[in-house]
Structure 1
Amino acid sequence: MDRRTFIATLPAAAVAAPLSAQQGRPSPEPAIPAPGQGGAPAPADQRLPGRWVEGEARFVRPDVRAGDRPVGASFASRTAVYGMSGAAGTAHPLATQAGIDILRRGGSAVDAAIAINACLGFLEPTSCGIGGDCYVMLWDPRAREVMGIAGSGASPRGLSLETVRARAKGGVLPPLGAVTVSVPGTVDCWWELHRRYGKLPWAALFEPAIAYAEGGAPVPDIVSYYMQRSIAAFRRSDSGIEEVANALSTFAPNGEAPGFGQVFRNPDLAQTYRLIARGGRDAFYRGEIAERIDRYFRRIGGWLRADDLARHRSEWVKPYATDYRGVTVHALGANTQGLATLQMLNMLERFDLRGAGFQSARSIHLQAEAKRLAYEDRARYYADPNFARVPADWLVSKDYAAERARLIRPDRINPRVTPGRAPARGDTTYLATADRDGMMVSMIQSNFRGMGSGLVADGLGFMFQDRGQLFTLQDGHPNIYAPGKRPFQTIIPGFATRDGEPWMSFGVIGGDMQPQGQAQIIVNRVDYGLDVQSAGDSPRWHHEGSSQSMGEDGPDLPPTGLLRLESGVPDATRAALASMGWTIGEPDGSFGRYQAVERRKDGAATVWAAASEMRADGCALAY
C-alpha cells in the first residue's frame, strides 16, 4: 500500500468502522473494576474484550502492553538478524527467502533485489508490481560510491492537458482509471541494474516468482486486508474505471479477494514473467506484452500506446547528499520527494534533539515543524527536471536550512509557513539486500495509490499504476501535466554512509510519510542511539497538510495540518504537543513500513544486520 489516502477512494461505510476499530488508537474504554473496589460489575458489553473474536481484524486491549524483552529497547519487537554472507529485509517472508536463495546461488545483491521485487509483485500486489515505477540507490563496492537509478515512466504522449483537465474532479486528477496511467518503469529499471551488476542469468531471477504465482501462496493478513479494500473501491459505481472485469478476475477470482491465510494464484502473471524472462526488457516494451497493452488501452478508450513503451528508458542519476552529525544521508532528486528528507535533516541539525529527549514533545515538535517547512518547498518546486528548473542544490544547502530553521519556534507551532523563495535561475514496497562482496541495495517500487489504477490488461496479470494523479493542473507550476512528462514521485529509497563507508540501506514506504519516516529513522539512530530494528519499532508521528499540497491531503484539515501520533507515544507528550498548538489526530495506519540492512565491522569481518517492519507481514533474514 503506497499511500494512506487510498482510503479516500473507498465507500465510507466500508472503511469507517474497520479503520476506527481496527487501525486507529482505540477510544478510552470503561475500566474493569479492580478486585476489592466494590460496586456492581460493568455490563458485559462495557467490559474490555477477554478474547479475540473470530473474524475480527484486531484484538484491542489498550491496557495491555507487549511482553518484556530481556535486552534491547523496551518497545522493540525483535532483534535484528545477523549474518556474514548476505542479508535481505522485505515485506513478505517468502520474498525474503527467495532473495536469500538467490544470494546463496552466487547472485549479487542486485540479483536478489530483482528476484524479491518480482516475487512481491505477486505476493504483495497491494503495494507493487510491474505496472509501476522503481527507484534504487546502491553501494557499488568497486566504484566505492552510492549509485542511483530512476525507473520512472512518463505520461502518454497522446494524452493532452485539455483532456486531462476535462477528466479532473475538483481541479485534481481522479484516483482511478486510464487518465492516471503512466508508462511502467520497473522492468527496464531491473534490466539496467542487471546489465551493470547482475551475476546470475536474467531468467533465473524470475524462477521463484513464477513458481509462487503458478503454485499459489497464502495471503498474509495485512495484504489481504488491503486487497479487500481495493476490490471494494474498484466495484464502486462511481469509481471512474473504464473496465474492471480483468482486475476482478485476477485478484478476486472467486468473487472476493482472498481472506487471511487463503491461497492466491495468478497464472497470468506467471506467464507474463516467462515472457520477460525469455525476452528481457524488450518483451515488455517492444514485444508481445507491449502489443497487448496497446490493444487493451485502445479497447477501453485509454491513452497508453506501444510507442510510449518503446520510448521509455531508465535514468542513472547521481544522488544528492547531506551530512547529519557525522552521517552522510543520500537521496535521489529527479522527480522524487527525496530532497525533503535532506531538507528536514539540515534544519534539525540546528537543534539539540538529544537534549530534548527521546519521544519528548519538544523533539517531535521540532521534527514536525521541519517537515512543514520542507513540504512547502516540496509542493512548490519538485518536478521532472527535464521539464522544469528544480533548484535542488539550493534546497539542500546548509545556508538555506539555517534560514528556514530560524522560522521554527521551539515552544509553539508556527501558525503560517510558506515556501522559500528560490534564487532567480530560471500504498509501495521497500526492500534492502546485501551480498558477500559488500554491495548494498536500497530499492523501492510502487503502483502508487493502493493497488493502482484498477486496470489490468487482458491476460497479463498485473495492474497499471495511477501515478499520474500527482500531476498538478495549475498553470505555471513546474509539476503541471504535460504529455511525455514524468509526474512528481513519492517513492524514495534511503541510504546512509559514514566516513566514506556504506552504513545503512533503508526505506519507509507510505506516500507523503516517506521523507517523514526516513528522517525519524535517522534521528532515532543518530540522536537517540537506537539499533537498526528498534529505530523502526519506535512509535512514529505523521503530519498531514500543508498550505500547498501535491494533492494527497484530505479535505477539511486545520490550517496547520493534523499531527497523527501512534498509540505508543507517551500521553504526556501528546498533551504537551496539544498545548503547543498542534491538532492531534488519532493513528490510522498511515505511519509507513520500514526495512533496512546495516553494515557493521567486527575486526576484518563484515557483519550484516537486517531489520523488518513490525507494522507489516514481512521479515528480515541473513546468513
Structure 2
Amino acid sequence: MRNFEKPTRSVAVARHAMAATSHPSATLVALQILAAGGNAMDAAIAASAVQCVVEPGSTGIGGDCFVLYAAGGSDKVVAYNGSGRTPAALTLDWFTERGLAEVPRHSPSAVTVPGAIDAWTRLHADHGRMPFADVLAPAIRFAEEGYGISPRVHHDWQLEEELLSSEPTAARIFLPKGRAPGIGEVHHQPELAATLKRIAAEGRDGFYTGAVAEDMVSYLRSLGGLHTLEDFAAAQGDYVTPVTTDFRGHTIHECPPNGQGIIALLILNILSRFGAKGDPQSPDRLHLEIEATRLAYAARDAWIADPEKAHVPVEELLSDALADRLAGMIDLKRAMTDLPAFDMPLHRDTVYISVVDRDRNAVSFINSVFDSFGTGLVAPRSGVVLHNRGQSFSLKPGHPNVVAPGKRPLHTIIPGMVTRGGRVEMPFGVMGGYYQAMGHAHLISKVFDYSMDLQEAIDLPRLIPKSEGTLVEAEHTLPAATASELERRGFSLVPAEGPIGGAQAIRIDWENGTLIGGSESRKDGIALGL
C-alpha cells in the first residue's frame, strides 16, 4: 500500500482500457484512439508516432522498434523485431581502413536502415483496426500545428545543444532560437509533418521508397555513408518467437536476440535461486541484483548478436546449469573482482508504451533512436532524425556482434510481457539503454517477490553497474546507509549523471475486471484509463 504522505503518485485504475506512456500527449492520444473504436495496436502506434514528434530526442521514425502482442487476453504472445540492418556495402574493413576502433556516433556509419516504420505498417495491417491515416493523424497535427515543451523533454533536449548545433538541419529545426526550446514554448516540425502525411497515404513505401528515401540516402551518402536506395527498399522486420522463463509462477516473455531481452531472463533466473524477504532495497538485495546483472551482462557482451549472422546460444543462456553456476559465484559478503572486462553502452533515450484495450488485447511497444537525438544527423527535406544504433556493433574481428553487411546490431531496447494461467497479465517495459535488462528484472522481482504495486516499484531508487570493475552508478535517492554498506562490501558507488531509465506497465486484474497502471515519475508521462 502506498504511503500517502510521500510525494509520489498512485497507480491508475480503470475498467475498460488503459495506456501508459512517458508523455501526457501520447497517453491522451492513445485513449482517444481507443475511445474512437481503435484497438490496443492502433493506440500504441498512434502514441509512438506522437512521441516521435513531441519527444524528438527520445524516439523518431528514423529509429527502430520491437513489439510484443497478446490478442484477446490470451497467453499466446507474438513478437516483432523491427530493428534495421547495415547497408550491404558496409564491412569491418571499411572501419579498419580508417583506423577506427569503435563506430563513431555523429557519423553515417552509425545509421542502420531504420526499422520503425516497417514495423508500424506491418503490425497495423495484421493487428490494427482503424485506418492507418487516422492512427497517424494526431502526430501529424502536433508536428504541423506545434506542441508545448514539457519539463523532461526540455531537460534532455538542452543536454544535446552542442550536438545539434554541429549539423545545419538539426540546428535549424531543433535550435530555432539558437538553443533548446524552453518549458512551455511551442515547437513545430513541418518537414516531419509532410513525411508523416506521405507515410499515412502510402504506407511503408512512403518512407522506404520515393522522395523520403531519396532524401535520407542522398544525405547519408553526402557525408560518406554507404547506404543505397536498394538498402532502404529491402528493409523488412520479422515476426519472431519470444524467449521465456518462469519466475515465481509467472511466465516472462521477451523478444529474442538480437535484443538483450534474454539477458533480463538470465538475471531473473539467477535471482530465482535466492529467497526474497525483508526490505526490497536492503544492501543484501541490491548486492544480489548488482552481481546478477554484472554476470549476465558479461554473458550478453560475449554472445548476443544477430542470430541470422552469428550463433547465439539461446538454450545455454536460459539453462538451469548456467543460472546455477552464475548464482554460485555470488558472495553477499563482498563484491566480485574477477569478472571479465566488458564494454557497455551508456544508458540511452527510448520511449516505451503499454496499452490494454476492452478486448484485453495487450501491447508492449518500444521505439528508439538510441542516444538522445541519435546521431544528431537530420535528413534535410524529410526532417527525419537518424538513429545511431550501429554504435552497438563490435569492431573486434571474430566477435559474434562484429559489424558486417546486412546485419543487425545487439539491441538494448526490449518490451516485456507477463502471462499466467493461460492469460496475459502484464505488458511492461523499462527504458534506459543497457539498464533495460536489469530494469526488467528489478521491476518484475519487486512486483512478484515483494508484492509492491507498479508505481511503488517504478519509483524506487535505481542503480546500475558500470563497465569499470566494481563501479556502480546510483541515483541520489538511494539511502546513504545502504550506499555506505555496499561500499564496505567492495562496490565503488558514483552519482548517476541523471535519472536512470523509465518504466511503464499495466497489470490486468482478471478477478475484478480492472486494469492497474504505473508510469515513470522520472519522465513527463502518465498512465490513464477509460
- What TM-score results when the alignment is normalised by the length of structure 2? 0.96
- Give CA deviations for 1:184-239 in whole Å, capped at 9, x if unaligned: 00000001111111100111111100111111111111111221222212435xxx
SS of the equivalent of 2:114 reads coil
**Which runs of structure 2 are paired with 1:49-64 in the superposition (5 Å)?**
none
For the pair 1:524 / 2:433, whether they are aligned, the reply is: no
Q: 2:8 aligns with which of 71, 77, 87?
A: 77
Matched to 1:106, the amino acid is G
Distance 2:276 2:94 in 1: 49
| Structure 1 residue ranges without an equivalent (≥5) | 1-69, 237-243, 421-426, 546-556
Q: Which residue of 1 aligns with 2:345?
A: none
Structure 2 CA distance for partners of 1:374 and 1:419, relative to 1, 3 Å = farther
Q: Which residue is equivalent to 2:503?
A: 594
The answer on whether the counterparts of 2:366 and 2:414 sit within 8 Å (CA) in structure 1 is yes
* Counterpart for residue 155 of structure 1: 86
Return the alpha-carbon distance in structure 2 between the equivalents of residues 469 and 183 of structure 1. 13
The superposition leaves residues 58-87 of structure 1 with CA deviations (integer Å, 9 ceiling, x where unpaired) of xxxxxxxxxxxx954765711111112211
2:271 is the counterpart of 1:351: no
Q: Point out the more displaced range, 158-167 or 192-201.
A: 158-167
Could you tell me which of 341, 353, 359 is aligned with 1:431? 353
* Cα distance between partner residues in 2 of 1:321 and 1:419: 28
SS at match of 1:294: helix
Note the alpha carbon deviations across 1:414-472, whole angstroms, 9 max, x for none: 1112499xxxxxx2111111110111111111001111111111221221111001110
TM alignment of 1:263-274, pairs within 5 A: 263-274=186-197
| Structure 1 residue 246 corresponds to structure 2 residue 166 | no
**Structure 2 equivalent of residue 183 of structure 1:** 113
The 3 A distance-change label for structure 1 pair 580 and 501 is: same
In the other structure, the counterpart of 2:282 is: 360
Query: In 2, Cα distance between the equivalents of 1:270 and 1:234?
Result: 20
Question: Is residue 332 of structure 2 the alignment partner of residue 410 of structure 1?
Answer: yes
Max radius of gyration: which structure? 1
Tell me which residue corresponds to 1:55.
none
- After TM superposition, the structure 1 = structure 2 runs for residues 291-370 of structure 1, keeping only pairs within 5 Å, are 291-355=214-278, 357-370=279-292
CA distance in 1, matches of 2:99, 2:450: 45
Q: Label 1:414 to 1:527 Cα distance change in 2 as closer, same or farther (>3 A).
A: same
Q: Is the 8 A contact 2:73 2:359 kept in 1?
A: no
1:390–1:167 Cα change, 3 Å: same
Question: What is the SS of the residue equivalent to 1:490?
Answer: coil
**Equivalent residues of 1:96, 1:620 under 8 A apart:** yes
User: Following TM superposition, by how much is the alpha carbon of 1:533 offset from its aligned partner in structure 2, in angstroms?
Assistant: 1.1
Q: Give deviations 1:527-568, integer Å, cap 9, x for gaps.
A: 1111011110111121111xxxxxxxxxxx3x23x1122233
Once structures 1 and 2 are overlaid, which stretch shifts more, 381-390 or 576-585? 576-585
AA aligned to 1:94 is S
Which residue in 2 is equivalent to 1:608? 515
CA distance in 2, matches of 1:578, 1:295: 52
Task: State whether structure 2 residue 206 is matched by structure 1 residue 276.
Answer: no
- The counterpart of 1:617, out of the listed 519, 524, 527, is 524
Tell me the CA shift for residue 609 of structure 1: 1.2
Question: Partner letter of residue 195 of structure 2?
Answer: T
Q: Percent identity over the alignment?
A: 39
Partner of 1:7: none
Check if 1:393 corresponds to 2:393. no
3-state SS of the aligned residue for 1:447? strand
2:346 corresponds in structure 1 to none
Tell me what 2:179 maps to. 256
Equivalence for 1:45: none
Q: Tell whether 2:369 aligns with 1:447.
A: yes
Is the Cα contact below 8 Å between 2:164 and 2:175 reproduced in 1?
A: no
The aligned residue for residue 501 of structure 1 is: 423
SS in 2 for 1:602: coil
Task: Kindly provide the amino acid, as one letter, of the partner of residue 251 in structure 1.
Answer: F
Equivalents in 2 of 1:497, 1:570: separation in Å? 34
Structure 2 gap segments, 5+ residues each: 343-348
* Aligned residue among 160, 181, 184 for 1:230: 160
Contact 1:327 1:497 in 2 (8 A): yes
* C-alpha distance after superposition, 1:95-147 (max 9, x if no partner): 11110000001101000000001000000011100000000112122764111
The 3 A distance-change label for structure 1 pair 260 and 142 is: closer
State the distance in 2 between where 1:361 and 1:390 align. 34
Asked whether the equivalents of residues 98 and 208 of structure 1 are also in contact (C-alpha less than 8 Å), the reply is yes
**Per-residue displacement from partner, 1:560-587 (whole Å, max 9, x unpaired)?**
3x11222332222111111111111113
Amino acid of the residue matched to residue 150 of structure 1? N
1:582 aligns with 2:512: no
Cα distance change on mapping 1:449 and 1:196 into 2, 3 Å: same
AA of the residue aligned to 2:222: R
Alignment partner of 1:110 out of 41, 50, 69: 41
Give 1:254 deviation, angstroms.
2.6
- Alpha-carbon distance between aligned partners in 2 of 1:74 and 1:491, rounded to the nearest angstrom: 35
Asked if 2 retains the 8 angstrom alpha-carbon contact of 1:285 and 1:310, the reply is yes
* Cα separation, 1, equivalents of 2:406 and 2:252: 31
- Cα distance change of structure 1 residues 620 and 142 upon mapping to structure 2, 3 Å threshold: closer
1:376 aligns with 2:277: no
The one-letter code sitting in structure 2 at the alignment partner of 1:582 is F
- 1:491 equivalent in alignment to 2:413: yes
Aligned to 1:565: 474
Equivalent position amino acid for 1:138 in 2: Y
The answer as to 2:17 corresponding to 1:86 is: yes
3-state SS of the aligned residue for 1:204? helix
Note the aligned Cα RMSD (angstroms). 1.7
Partners in 2 of 1:372 and 1:88 — Cα distance?
Answer: 33
Q: Which amino acid aligns with 2:119?
A: C
SS at match of 1:85: coil
Q: Give the superposition deviation at 1:302.
A: 1.9
Q: Is the 8 A contact 2:73 2:362 kept in 1?
A: no
Q: Which residue of the partner structure matches residue 423 of structure 1?
A: none
Q: Is the 8 A contact 2:73 2:424 kept in 1?
A: no
State the aligned residue count: 524
Between 563-572 and 320-329, report the one with greater CA deviation. Answer: 563-572
More off after superposition, 227-236 vs 582-591: 227-236
Contact in 2 for aligned 1:231/1:257 (Cα 8 Å):
yes
SS in 1 for 2:159: helix
- C-alpha contact 2:2 2:456 (8 A) present in aligned 1: no
Aligned to 2:69: 138
- Confirm or deny: 8 A CA contact 1:291 1:306 kept in the other structure: yes
